[in-house]
RNA sequence: GCGGGGGUGUCCGAGUCUGGUCAAAGGAGACAGGCUUAGGACCUGUUGCCGUAGGGCUGCGUGGGUUCAAACCCCACCCCCCGCACCA
């Protein structure tokens, strides 16, 4: 481990000194521009993050070896509120967070004090993350680094938003959000206790009336208004009579504040206990029927208005509550109600749903044996009834004009109609409540006024985005459908908030552009970032016209430069550098960003840039798991990257996060995987030292003359692995590539070593072959494990950095089907022999092989040839054999051959046909030493037609091509 | 619900696009043997069932179908995981 770390540090220093990852425009070379979503510096990076970044780096390194001028830059995303929130929690002495910072993130205690300043925290983690990226060996051009709160970057974002506004993609409106009434802030998942996402549902408030007094019943199923038998209120809870806008409403006390946050004017006139309402008669606005207000414990004053309509036929809660109350005569009397009259209330069925009775709620309740309205199983029953009714239910004749309509449709229609007629209103409520803000306050829903949006719902914009997507390469391709879906589904996205770090909206400075909106086209900024720094360009020099020129080629360069007080050459240089590196060739990120960032990126590029500068490829990958659980801050199972690097080293971590899973899947990381990678690399290193020791001076040609079949086989296999690995890398199937390069190639090499273990006099050939294999292997491993590969490269006395050496190309002249078929033949023969030995439990002294007679080969090859063309005629096959030779066995063999040939895959057939009959006897003779060593017996080979043949059990006759007969004694 | 991914041997996990060499790569675990003072280190072998000759049977979520041939193609169903936003 120690030695791995030394190697890593050594090469990182040398790369830096040689500046090999600094990419400047070079017209002689094709460019390749890769970016990866910049990190958010509110915590150190962990091994989970390392997967995405390592993949991007591997991609960059691979393309560099393929001869491209690769640019891989990096920046830091300071925008947003999480840093603020964390900083605040630290200031409030949040114990959990302090513990995380000290014990998990390893932040020195004295540093912690500074973190009450959010910017100091961001800077600290920025540095931390950057160090980690260097230590893991990413081939980043650091000259282009920036943060999203740099004034110059802000100017760029302002320019972008002006462009969006000019195109009409910015809109304004109202929008419900999760809200903490104490902090006065919107709350997202990371602001809540337990990191729960506040889910907002829209309730319909149906206005039941007593004279002019409104009982706004909150429901998610407005279509059931036709089956209401009574209303429910909670008798213990406090209700109010209040003026709401222009009406008088009866609502729970808790709902008053909520309605105010939803832009209603609420003036409380009277406060009382719920039981006072019991017995009130109200009118159903849809059916005009008169019904009574009844008490129910399950009616939650904290949910919406606290007034509920009762539909016992289709709502299990209502059904059970009604059944309960019917039996409680004493209680009813207490309220002054007539038990007999209440007992007569019957559920009104209004939805027909297959598989259920008139009263589906009763079915679901009885199935679960529920008797009390407080039974938690009611939740499940409600879901069941809802699911079936929503998808399969039809409205019954008693629903008037909705009769016959599917429930899914009627639900929306009834709601719209009631609202239009003034008989209903809406109210937002958290459907997964209670949701608590980190400050401890229960969250509510607020309608945010005059919110700014980017309108991703615009049809013509979607069309452009689809056009771009169609031309892009999506890796893995399986996720294209998901992108298509997201493009269609996106609509207005709130793009600014009132707190946090970032850029202010240029036309409305109260608002700060939020982080998913200021990170959509910044890849373009990388192309000019180094010039901005180098020439110390100030934000005021970066006028909209300057950006128009650089990115869009608009305007007169001299005028613009003069106006902005910029050097014309510098301006032109930026324009040229942008044009050189753009469009973006590949964008990397975790697949969780498909639903926002990645799709936003496509949208915004199509809005701002001309078609030829649209992004070309997106690569996404899954997460990293630790013992089957996603590695994530919220699960508390992270290994900070820098800690991991100390423990396992850079190359083993790079290898670990990329070798266990393909893009789409989640990768598993644990210390034992990392450990096995360390072992693997150490082995490679040791064998490299062995191989490097002996040098061959003979020419390749001279050596080739001495090749045995097995040498040719090894080199042929090498070509195959080069082809496989290259193909895999092209699709960023790094796992597959690693397997081919490291494991499968090693297996073949081991087999080769075994085969020639006792070969004499050809050490030079062996060394040559092994060296060839090693060189190719190390080259192909370089993108993934660059440090150890540089070291081995040096041991092999190669010139220059391996990081900038060319990726190996397969040599078609070394692909040797014959050698591979020969070897395949031997392996099968060995397997067959071993199988016989196993079954017979014999300890053989002698093993006899009888290879098939030439006439069998003739028939066999003819059959193969015919089978690739269509039907095989028995007659034709027999004619292959001269009349003299024909016997009963001829026909029998031909017949069997026809059957057997069917099961050979097409590709194999082609190969065998290409090389014709192989000399099986010679092949076995050549491998005799190996076979006998392996089988611990003497090997004797005959041709079945040999005159002098030892064949006591008459086995020879069953020999077929590629399958000699075997006799063991 | 909508959209996406997936269900393979004791376990993990390839193979599915391009049907046949698939009882199914590679690991892990287990067992046996070797090396060794010892080993959690390394090496060799075995690891669905049956079989004293290279074979047979069962088998890749479930049920059908196509085909000479299905883990792989088609249809239906069941189950698991992820996303559904204003938040990085």
Q: Report the distance from CA of residue A742 to the C1' of nucleotide B1 in Å, as an integer.
A: 46
Residue nearest to nucleotide B26 (CA to C1'): A743
Mean pLDDT of chain A: 88
Q: How does pLDDT run across A429-483, given as a tens digit for each residue?
A: 887 777 777 777 888 888 878 889 999 989 899 999 999 998 998 888 888 888 8
Higher pLDDT, A183 or A724: A724
Look at residue A256 and tell me whether its pLDDT is greater than 70. yes
pLDDT at A368 exceeding the cut of 80 = no
Q: What is the mean pLDDT of residues A750-768?
A: 85
Cβ–Cβ < 8 Å for A806, A65: yes
Minimum-distance nucleotide, CA of A839 to C1': B52
Distance between CA atoms of A55 and A620, rounded to whole angstroms? 9
A905 CA from B18 C1′ (Å): 12
Measured to protein CB atoms, the chain B nucleotides within 7 Å are: 1-6, 12-15, 20-21, 25-26, 42, 46, 51-55, 68, 82-88
Share of chain A above pLDDT 70, in %: 97
pLDDT bin (cut points 50, 70, 90) of residue A1 is low
Rounded CA–C1' distance between A738 and B14, in angstroms: 13
Looking across all nucleic acid strands, the nucleotide with the smallest C1' to CA distance from residue A492 is: B86
β-bridge mates for residue A626, sequence order:
A629
Exposed / middle / buried, residue A109 (Cβ in 10 Å: 0-12, 13-18, 19+): exposed
pLDDT in the model for residue A627: 66
Give the nearest nucleotide to A965, CA to C1': B54
CA–C1' nearest nucleotide, residue A960 = B54
Whole-number distance in Å between A384 CA and B64 C1': 29
Find out whether A654 and A58 touch, Cβ atoms under 8 Å. Answer: yes
SS3 at position A554 = coil
Task: Report whether CATH 3.30.2320.20 matches the domain A819-968.
Answer: yes
Mean pLDDT of the region A680-687: 85
Backbone conformation region of residue A422, classed left if phi is above 0, alpha if psi is from -120 to 50, else beta: left
* Buried/exposed A660-678: b ≥16 CB within 10 Å, e otherwise: bbbbeebbbbeeebbeebb
Q: Which nucleotide is nearest to A662 (CA to C1')?
A: B14
Q: Which nucleotide is closest to the Cα of A519 by its C1'? A: B88
**For the CA atoms of chain A, what is the radius of gyration?**
38
The CATH number fitting domain A200-430, selected from 3.40.50.10490, 3.40.50.300, 3.40.50.2300, 3.90.740.10: 3.90.740.10
Nucleotide minimizing C1' to CA distance for residue A600: B85
Give nearest nucleotide to A750 (CA–C1').
B43
ipTM: 0.88
β-bridge mates for residue A239, sequence order: A252, A272
* Predicted pLDDT at A77: 93
- DSSP states of A165-192 as a string? HHTT-EEEEEEEEEEETTTTEE--GGGB
Distance, Å, A324 CA → B30 C1': 60
Q: According to the model, what pLDDT value does residue A617 have?
A: 93
CA–C1' span, A592 to B62, in Å? 32
Per-residue pLDDT band for A935 (boundaries 50, 70, 90) equals: confident
Pick the CATH number of A692-815 from 3.20.20.105, 1.10.645.10, 1.10.730.10, 1.10.340.30: 1.10.730.10
- Residue–nucleotide distance: A839 CA to B23 C1' (Å): 17
Instruction: Provide, in whole angstroms, the distance separating residue A850's CA from nucleotide B60's C1'.
Output: 38
Distance in Å, residue A733 CA to nucleotide B34 C1': 39
Using the structure, give the distance in angstroms from the CA atom of A905 to the C1' atom of B11, rounded to a whole number: 32
pLDDT of A871 > 70? The answer is no
State the pLDDT at residue A49: 86
Nucleotide nearest to A672 (CA to C1'): B28
Query: pLDDT class for A490, splitting at 50, 70, 90?
Result: confident
Rounded Cα–Cα distance for residues A657 and A667 (Å): 6
* Distance in Å, residue A809 CA to nucleotide B25 C1': 25
Q: Which residue is nearest to nucleotide B87 (CA to C1')?
A: A188
Q: Looking at residue A628, what is its pLDDT?
A: 64
Q: Which residue is nearest to nucleotide B25 (CA to C1')?
A: A744
Output A636 or A935, whichever has higher pLDDT. Answer: A935
Q: State, as a whole number of angstroms, the distance between the CA of A432 and the C1' of B42.
A: 57
Instruction: Using the CA of A683, give the nucleotide whose C1' is nearest.
Output: B42
Select from 3.40.50.620, 3.30.2130.10, 3.40.1350.10, 3.20.20.20 the CATH code of A2-167+474-635: 3.40.50.620
A404-422 pLDDT, tens digit each:
887 877 888 888 889 889 8
At A189 the pLDDT is: 65
Select from A586, A587, A588, A557 the least CA-distant residue to A574.
A557
What band does A749 get if pLDDT is binned at 50, 70 and 90?
A: confident
A895 CA to B4 C1', in Å?
51
Q: What is the pLDDT of residue A879?
A: 76
Question: In the structure, how far is the CA atom of residue A601 from the C1' atom of nucleotide B10, in angstroms?
Answer: 47
Q: Which nucleotide is nearest to A907 (CA to C1')?
A: B21
CA of A66 and C1' of B17: distance in angstroms? 27
Would the pLDDT of A870 be above 70?
A: no
For residue A196, is pLDDT > 70?
A: no
What pLDDT shows up at residue A97?
83
Q: What is the mean pLDDT of the segment spanning A511-520?
A: 92
Mean pLDDT to the nearest integer, A326-352: 88
On the question of a common fold for A2-167+474-635 and A200-430, the answer reads no
Closest C-alpha to A162, from A608, A612, A613: A608
CA angle A124, A128, A133 (to 5 degrees): 150
| Statement: residue A152 has pLDDT above 90 | yes
A8-19 average pLDDT score: 96
Give the CA-to-C1' distance from A392 to B1 in angstroms.
12
The residue ranking higher by pLDDT, A871 or A151, is A151
Q: What is the mean pLDDT of residues A674-702?
A: 83
Which nucleotide is closest to A486, CA to C1'? B3
A829 closest CA partner among A926, A943, A963: A963
| Rounded distance in angstroms from the CA atom of residue A672 to the C1' atom of nucleotide B40 | 13
Q: Is the pLDDT of residue A721 over 70?
A: yes
User: What is the CA A376 to C1' B3 distance in angstroms?
Assistant: 31
Tens-place pLDDT, residues A539-586: 999 999 999 999 999 999 999 999 999 999 999 999 999 999 999 999
Quote the pLDDT of residue A776.
Answer: 93
Q: Kindly list the distances between the CA atom of residue A269 and the CA atoms of A251, A281, A292, in Å, as whole numbers in the listed order.
A: 11, 21, 23
Distance A905 CA to B72 C1' (A): 14
Q: Which nucleotide is nearest to A480 (CA to C1')?
A: B4
Which nucleotide has the shortest C1'-to-CA distance from A448? B86
> Model confidence at A96, in pLDDT bands (50, 70, 90)?
confident
pLDDT at A317: 87
Domain ranges for chain A: 2-167+474-635, 200-430, 692-815, 819-968
Which DSSP category does A213 fall into? Answer: E
Q: How far apart are the first and last CA of chain A?
A: 52
- Shortest-distance nucleotide from A79 CA to C1': B88
Checking if the pLDDT of A600 tops 90, the result is: yes
pLDDT above 80 for A592: yes
How many angstroms is C1' of B56 away from CA of A900? 17
Helices (H), ranges, A490-567: 523-534, 544-552, 557-564
Of residues A786, A547, A764, the one with CA closest to residue A652 = A786
For residues A707 and A696, give the distance between their C-alpha atoms in angstroms, rounded to a whole number.
14
Whether residue A906 has pLDDT greater than 90 = no
Tell me which protein residue sits closest to nucleotide B21, measuring alpha carbon to C1': A904
Closest nucleotide over all strands to A512 (CA to C1') = B86
Round and report the angstrom distance from CA (A959) to C1' (B33): 35
d(CA A337, CA A335): 5
Tell how many helices (H) and how many strands (E) occur in chain A. Answer: 37, 30
Closest nucleotide to the alpha carbon of A747, via C1': B26
A920 CA to B28 C1', in Å? 39
> How far apart (Å, rounded) are the C-alpha atoms in residues A933 and A931?
5
């Amino acid at each position: 481990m120690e030695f791995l770390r030394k190697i890593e540090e050594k090469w990182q220093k040398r790369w830096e000194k040689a500046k090999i990852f600094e990419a400047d425009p070079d017209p002689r070379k094709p460019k390749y521009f890769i970016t990866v979503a910049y990190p958010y510096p509110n915590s150190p990076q962990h091994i989970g993050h390392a997967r995405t970044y390592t993949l991007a780096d591997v991609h960059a390194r691979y393309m560099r070896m393929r001869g491209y001028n690769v640019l891989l830059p990096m920046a830091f995303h300071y925008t947003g509120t999480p840093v603020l929130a964390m900083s605040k929690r630290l200031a409030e002495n949040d114990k959990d967070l302090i513990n995380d910072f000290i014990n998990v993130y390893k932040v020195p205690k004295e540093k912690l004090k500074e973190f009450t300043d959010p910017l100091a925290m961001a800077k600290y983690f920025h540095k931390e993350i950057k160090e980690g990226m260097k230590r893991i060996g990413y081939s980043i051009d650091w000259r282009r680094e920036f943060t999203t709160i740099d004034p110059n970057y802000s100017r760029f974002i302002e320019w972008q938003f002006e462009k969006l506004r000019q195109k009409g993609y910015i809109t304004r409106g109202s929008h419900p959000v999760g809200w903490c009434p104490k902090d006065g802030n919107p709350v997202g998942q990371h602001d809540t206790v337990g990191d729960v996402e506040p889910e907002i549902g829209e309730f319909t408030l149906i206005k039941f009336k007593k004279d002019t007094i409104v009982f706004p019943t909150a429901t998610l199923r407005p279509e059931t208004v036709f089956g209401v038998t009574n209303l429910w209120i909670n008798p213990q809870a406090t209700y109010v009579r209040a003026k709401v806008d222009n009406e008088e409403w009866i609502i729970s006390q808790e709902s008053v504040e909520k309605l105010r946050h939803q832009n209603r004017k609420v003036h409380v006139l009277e406060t009382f206990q719920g039981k006072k309402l019991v017995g009130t008669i109200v009118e159903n606005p849809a059916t005009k029927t008169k019904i009574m207000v009844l008490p129910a414990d399950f009616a939650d004053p904290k949910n919406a208005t606290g007034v509920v309509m009762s539909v016992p036929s289709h709502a299990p809660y209502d059904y059970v509550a009604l059944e309960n109350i019917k039996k409680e005569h004493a209680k009813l009397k207490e309220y002054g109600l007539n038990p007999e009259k209440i007992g007569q209330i019957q559920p009104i069925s209004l939805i027909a749903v297959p598989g259920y009775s008139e009263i589906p709620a009763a079915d679901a309740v009885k199935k679960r044996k529920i008797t009390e309205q407080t039974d938690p199983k009611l939740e499940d029953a409600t879901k069941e009834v809802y699911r079936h009714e929503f998808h399969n239910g039809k409205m019954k004749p008693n629903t008037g004009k909705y009769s016959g309509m599917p429930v899914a449709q009627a639900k929306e229609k009834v709601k719209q109609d009631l609202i239009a007629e003034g008989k209903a209103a809406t109210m937002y409520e958290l459907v997964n409540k209670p949701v608590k803000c980190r400050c401890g306050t229960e969250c509510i829903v607020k309608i945010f006024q005059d919110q700014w949006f980017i309108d991703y719902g615009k049809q013509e914009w979607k069309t452009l985005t689809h056009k771009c997507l169609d031309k892009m390469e999506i890796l893995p391709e399986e996720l294209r459908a998901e992108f298509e879906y997201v493009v269609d589904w996106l609509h207005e996205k709130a793009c600014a908030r009132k707190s946090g770090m970032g850029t202010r909206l240029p036309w409305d400075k109260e608002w700060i552009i939020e982080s998913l909106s200021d990170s959509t086209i910044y890849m373009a900024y990388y192309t000019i970032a180094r010039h901005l720094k180098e020439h110390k360009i100030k934000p005021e020099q970066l006028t909209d016209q300057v950006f128009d020129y650089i990115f869009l080629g608009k305007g007169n360069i001299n005028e613009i430069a003069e106006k902005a007080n910029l050097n014309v050459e510098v301006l032109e240089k930026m324009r040229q550098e942008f044009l050189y590196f753009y469009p973006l060739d590949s964008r990397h990120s975790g697949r969780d960003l498909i639903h926002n960032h990645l799709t936003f990126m496509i949208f915004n590029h199509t809005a701002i840039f001309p078609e030829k500068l649209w992004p070309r490829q997106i690569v996404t990958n899954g997460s990293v798991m630790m013992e089957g659980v996603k590695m994530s801050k919220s699960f508390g199972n992270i290994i900070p990257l820098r800690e991991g690097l100390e423990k396992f080293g850079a190359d083993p971590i790079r290898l670990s996060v990329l070798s266990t899973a393909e893009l789409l899947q989640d990768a598993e990381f644990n210390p034992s995987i990392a450990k096995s990678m360390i072992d693997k690399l150490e082995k490679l290193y040791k064998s490299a030292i062995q191989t490097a020791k002996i040098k061959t001076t003979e020419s390749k040609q001279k050596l080739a003359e001495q090749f045995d079949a097995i040498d040719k086989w090894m080199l042929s296999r090498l070509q195959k692995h080069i082809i496989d690995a290259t193909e895999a890398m092209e699709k960023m199937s790094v796992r597959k590539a690693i397997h081919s390069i490291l494991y499968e190639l090693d297996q073949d090499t081991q087999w080769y070593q075994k085969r020639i273990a006792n070969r004499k006099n050809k050490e030079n050939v062996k060394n040559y072959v092994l060296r060839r294999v090693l060189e190719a292997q190390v080259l192909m491993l370089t993108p993934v494990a660059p440090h150890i590969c540089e070291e081995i490269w040096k041991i092999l006395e190669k010139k220059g950095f391996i990081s900038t050496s060319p990726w190996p190309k397969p040599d078609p002249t070394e692909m040797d089907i014959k050698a591979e078929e020969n070897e395949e033949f031997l392996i099968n023969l060995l397997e067959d022999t071993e199988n016989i030995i196993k079954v017979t439990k014999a300890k053989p002294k002698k093993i006899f092989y009888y290879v098939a007679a030439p006439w069998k080969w003739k028939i066999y090859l003819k059959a193969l040839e015919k089978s690739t063309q269509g039907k095989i005629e028995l007659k034709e096959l027999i004619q292959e054999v001269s009349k003299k030779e024909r016997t009963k066995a001829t026909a029998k063999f031909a017949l069997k051959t026809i059957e057997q040939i069917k099961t050979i895959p097409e590709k194999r057939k082609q190969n065998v046909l290409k090389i014709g009959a192989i000399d099986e006897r010679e092949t076995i003779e050549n491998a005799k030493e190996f076979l006998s060593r392996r089988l611990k017996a003497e090997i004797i080979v005959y041709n079945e037609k040999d005159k002098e043949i030892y064949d006591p059990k008459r086995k020879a006759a069953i020999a077929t091509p590629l399958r000699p007969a075997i006799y063991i004694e």
